[in-house]
Structure 1
Amino acid sequence: MPPLEHGHSTDEIRRRLAGGPRSSYLRDWIYGGIDGAVTTFAVVAGVAGAELPMQVVLILGGANLVADGFSMAASNFSGTKAERDDYDRLAAVERRHVALVPEGEREEIRQIFAAKGFSGAGLERIVATITSDEPGWIRTMLAEEYGLSASPRSPRMAAAATFAAFLICGAMPLLPYAFGGGLGASALATAVTFFAIGSTKSRWSLIPWWRSGLETVAVGLAAAALAYLVGFGLGSLFGIAVP
C-alpha cells in the first residue's frame, strides 16, 4: 500500500488545519507555462515557415514573449479580481440579510443541513452553532448557497504566477536561436518543455506522468505545426524568402 499523503494523529491534524484552506495557483502556472511555450514557438515556427532571417525570429519571439505574457497576466489579474469582487459583494449581501432577516437566514442554514441528512435535535444544534458566529455563518452561506471557495485567490498572485510561467517556458523555444540553432533545435526544446509541464502537473492528477507529458506535447506541437503551415503559406503567397 502506498504511503498516505499526510498523518492523522491529533497533533498532525491540528497543525495541518491551523492555517485554514490555502489558495492554489497551480492552474495559473500550468496555463501560463503552456501558453507561453505554445505562442512563442508558434511565432518562431510561423517566421521560420516564412523563411525569414534568424534575427527576425529573435525579435518577434522576444516581443511576443514580453507583450503576450504581460497581456495574459493582466487578463488573469482582471478575471481573478472580478471573482474576488463578486465574493466580497455576496458576502456583503449575506451580512445585510443576517442583520435584517436573521430568522430567514437561520432557516436557510436549517434547510441546507437538512438536505445533507441532519434532523431533529442534531440539526438544531448545528444551526445554533453556525449562527452563533456571524463571520462563520456568512462563510457557510457563501460556500453552501453560492458554491464559493473559503479562500478567495489573490489577483496579484494569480497574475504573477501566469507571467512568471509564461516567461520561463516561453523562453525555451528562443534559446536555440540565441545560440545559433534552428527550427529543429527549437522544436526539440519546446517539446521537452511541454513534456516537463505535462509530467509535472500529473502530480496533481491520477493520470500517469508519461501520459500527461505526451498529451501536453501533442496539444502544443499541433498548435505550432498550424502556425508553421500558415507562415509557410503566407511566405509563399507574398514571395518572402531569405535573401
Structure 2
Amino acid sequence: MHDVAKHSHVEGHFQSTETVRDVVIGLSDGLTVPFALAAGLSGAVASSHIVVLAGLAEIAAGSIAMGLGGYLAARGDVEHYASERKREEREIVERVHDEEEEIYEIFEQYSVDREAAAPVLEALKRNPKAWVDFMMRFELGLEEPAANRAYRSALTISASYIAGGFVPLLPYMFVGSNTVALEFSVLITLLALALFGALKGRLVGTGALRSALQTVSIGGVAAAAAYGLARLLNSVH
C-alpha cells in the first residue's frame, strides 16, 4: 500500500484560467491606456505634476469601468448557465427520447457505439442531476461558474488595472523633465509587459519566452497606437 501511494500519479493541471484571463485584461489595459495618456500629455503640458494627476484620475476611472465590465460579463455567464440548466432539466423529463439520442450522438464523437454507450445512458437516467451535468458539459460545453465569480472578477480586473496603471506613471513622479520621463516610461512599460508575459506563459504552460514576446508585441502595438492617437489629437488642438 505504501509503494502504491508513493508512486501514485498526480497530474499538475493549471486550474485558474479565468483568474489569469482577468489579470491579463486588467493589467494589459492598465499598462497601455495610462501610458498613452501620459505620453500624449507630456508633449502638450510642461508640468509633470499635471501628467501624474491626469494619469491617476484615468486609473481611478478606468479601474472602476473595467471592474464593472468584468462584473457584468461574469454575471451574464452565471445567468446564461442557470437558464440553460433549467432548460436541460425540463428536456430530460419532457423530451426523454431526444435527450437519449443526444447522449448517443455525443459518444459517437468519441467513436463509442450505441451498444457501448447504453449502460452509461442507463446509469445517467437513474441520476437526473448527473444527466443534466453531463449534458451541460458535453452537449453545451458549459462549466458551472464558481461561487462569487462576478465579484472576484471585478476585483481582480480593477486591482490589475491599478497595478498596471502605476507603472508608466512612475517616471513622471520622480523625474522633472517630461521628455526624460517619457523615455523611462516606455522602457519600464515594455519591461513590465515582458515580465508579465513570461509569468503568464509559465502559469499556463505556453512557454515564458514565447509568451513574453507575444505580450510585448501586442501591448507595444496597442500602446504605440494609443500614443499616436493622443499626439494626433494634441496637434489638431
Shorter-chain-normalised TM-score: which range?
0.7 to 0.9
Report the residue type matching 2:171 in the other structure: P
In structure 1, the partner of 2:187 is 188
In structure 2, the partner of 1:224 is 223
Deviations 1:9-44 (A, max 9, x none): 26x57xx89xxx766311111111111101110111
Alpha-carbon distance in 2 for matches of 1:175, 1:160:
23
Residues 231, 89 of structure 1: alpha-carbon distance in 2 compared, 3 angstrom cutoff:
closer
Alpha-carbon distance in 1 for matches of 2:16, 2:210:
28
CA contact (8 A) 2:36 2:230 kept: no
Greater Cα offset, 109-118 or 155-164: 109-118
In structure 2, the partner of 1:152 is 145
Residues 101, 226 of structure 1: alpha-carbon distance in 2 compared, 3 angstrom cutoff:
closer
1:82-121 equivalent positions in 2, closer than 5 A: 82-119=76-113, 121=115
Alpha-carbon distance in 1 for matches of 2:61, 2:145:
28
Residues 85, 226 of structure 1: alpha-carbon distance in 2 compared, 3 angstrom cutoff:
same
Report the residue type matching 2:200 in the other structure: K
Greater Cα offset, 79-88 or 105-114: 105-114
Task: Give the match's secondary structure for 1:116.
Answer: coil
Greater Cα offset, 220-229 or 91-100: 220-229
Runs of 4+ in 1 over 6 A off after TM superposition: none
In structure 2, stretches of 5+ residues that fail to align are 1-5
Matched residue count: 225
Cα drift, residue 207 of structure 1: 4.6
In structure 1, stretches of 5+ residues that fail to align are 1-6, 239-243
Alpha-carbon distance in 1 for matches of 2:7, 2:121:
28
Task: Give the match's secondary structure for 2:139.
Answer: helix
Cα drift, residue 185 of structure 1: 1.8
Alpha-carbon distance in 1 for matches of 2:214, 2:172:
26
Residues 110, 217 of structure 1: alpha-carbon distance in 2 compared, 3 angstrom cutoff:
closer
Deviations 1:165-194 (A, max 9, x none): 111111111122222351122222211111
Residues 141, 177 of structure 1: alpha-carbon distance in 2 compared, 3 angstrom cutoff:
same
Cα drift, residue 49 of structure 1: 2.8
TM-score, length-normalised on structure 1? 0.81
CA contact (8 A) 2:19 2:153 kept: yes
In structure 1, the partner of 2:60 is 66
Task: Give the match's secondary structure for 2:86.
Answer: helix
Alpha-carbon distance in 1 for matches of 2:229, 2:140:
45
The CA RMSD over aligned residues, in Å, is 2.6
TM-score, length-normalised on structure 2? 0.83
Counterpart pick for 2:167 among 172, 181, 190 = 172
In structure 2, the partner of 1:213 is 212
Report the residue type matching 2:220 in the other structure: L
CA contact (8 A) 2:104 2:114 kept: no
In structure 1, the partner of 2:120 is 126
Cα drift, residue 206 of structure 1: 5.6
